Structure 1
């Protein structure tokens, strides 16, 4: 399956983004190696009552690389926060997948006045020592060897072993995006991803806005247990585990995902009304 690259807007600070719909804003942040189109199966649902901004993460798609070669997670979040402050100018619901969920959670923790809800999809929390060693080795290999195959292994981790039908179409799209991903942006982001192991417990406990953690039951690197533990720390946290799904749940299981996100958006709106 081939998906035509859509026309972007480009902000002064180098963030490229797609914009759909009208209403209060939702910001979508994809994972490492992908691009804004990774949210293709959520747009119709989310734009029913909202303006949806799907960004290319810095160094991905048409977004510029961050200036510092050794940027950390805060740098990615600061760049996106500056874009929100200049382009959107009102509090947002943040939704992120994989590394995008790290960005969404960090944003909500550090920019409380700018965030009214967070959906963290396939998010990492306290990897095992073996998983931590493996992800950091993959990041090191990417930096040292730019010609390394960065496609085959992720596709095997993210999708079922022999994807068929709709899942095969989504796997083919991801493969195209990974092949086209800017080498430096991909490697730098993966290094940041490998160095982060989820928010501090006290930071999650201080998140008073609604937060939902969603993952697939077959995603061992972003497991249901991880989502459950993070949700338990958040005062308004909840979690859901989608059956027969792996890492790319937003793409492979849109019906289940979109229903959960629609319910979550209503929860965010209820909390805002109660505070007025």
Structure 2
């Protein structure tokens, strides 16, 4: 999908495509709405698709807590955006932090269905979460050092492999200009990343029984390791649990057809409220 100029609500920057039941796509921490571009065309054949930049990311305003809890600071901007855009209970798809947000939205009656791809909030203990904190701190520090040579680095397949293999299983599938823009976005959003990670929490697993939910996990996820899918199965036994073979933490460019098919299988569940376990 070619990049389009962002549209702005009073809350978030976004873009949209297609027609049909609304589908809201929420990216992960340190990323931006363009992460979904590899799958948007397929999804737009069936849905009106909305891609948003989270607060403090992409072209959206800063992430501000204003004394709100971490949950409220994540959910309320999306709720305000939906009200401004006239979206009533869209299908919601999220990756990483966005997947945690999508699950929280289901608890608040804001989602018609949820596809959560490698959701945050399913680590087992503080030690595992410490790994996530250390990983992002390391990536931000390395990106700051490499930024002066990043345009040259990302032109090369080996450079994208070096810079992006922690995030995706097929880093060479990311165009060089997109890879460089993603690196710049990570640095621009670093304060939001730090604030959000500081307020990280476990998802409690309480979701409505009438919302179809799919939990999908890449088999090569190096950020939220695939064993966390087992925790998701325990906390969300009524969800549909699927593996994404050969996919990393941000899998949309790893296997666009598989990701689109996984999402569409969930959105089509709403007619029967079918709930499955693997």
Instruction: Label 1:187 to 1:70 Cα distance change in 2 as closer, same or farther (>3 A).
Output: farther
Instruction: Label 1:173 to 1:118 Cα distance change in 2 as closer, same or farther (>3 A).
Output: farther
1:260 aligns with one of 259, 262, 266: 262
Partner SS for 2:99: helix
2:168 aligns with one of 140, 153, 159: 159
Instruction: Label 1:218 to 1:70 Cα distance change in 2 as closer, same or farther (>3 A).
Output: farther
Residue 74 of structure 1 and its aligned partner are, at CA, apart by 2.3
Partner SS for 1:37: helix
Number of the residue aligned with 1:17: 14
Number of the residue aligned with 1:132: 129
Q: Structure 2-normalised TM-score?
A: 0.80
Deviations 1:171-211 (A, max 9, x none): 7465323322164533323441464244113x24x554111
Structure 2: stretches of 5+ with no match in the other structure:
151-159
Write the distance in 2 (CA, Å) between the matches of 1:117 and 1:188. Answer: 27
Does the Cα contact within 8 Å between 1:212 and 1:238 map onto a contact in 2? yes
Deviations 1:17-62 (A, max 9, x none): 0111111111001112222111112212211221100011111111
Residue 93 of structure 1 and its aligned partner are, at CA, apart by 0.8
Number of the residue aligned with 1:66: 63
Instruction: Label 1:143 to 1:248 Cα distance change in 2 as closer, same or farther (>3 A).
Output: closer
Instruction: Label 1:4 to 1:93 Cα distance change in 2 as closer, same or farther (>3 A).
Output: closer
Q: CA RMSD in A?
A: 3.2
1:168 aligns with one of 156, 166, 172: 172
Write the distance in 2 (CA, Å) between the matches of 1:227 and 1:173. Answer: 32
Write the distance in 2 (CA, Å) between the matches of 1:192 and 1:49. Answer: 33
- 1:200 paired with 2:198, answer no
Number of the residue aligned with 2:82: 84
Residue 73 of structure 1 and its aligned partner are, at CA, apart by 4.0
- 1:34 paired with 2:31, answer yes
Instruction: Name whichever structure is richer in helix by fraction.
Output: 1
Write the distance in 2 (CA, Å) between the matches of 1:207 and 1:173. Answer: 43
Number of the residue aligned with 1:105: 103
Q: Structure 1-normalised TM-score?
A: 0.80
Deviations 1:51-90 (A, max 9, x none): 1000111111111113348873421211111110221241
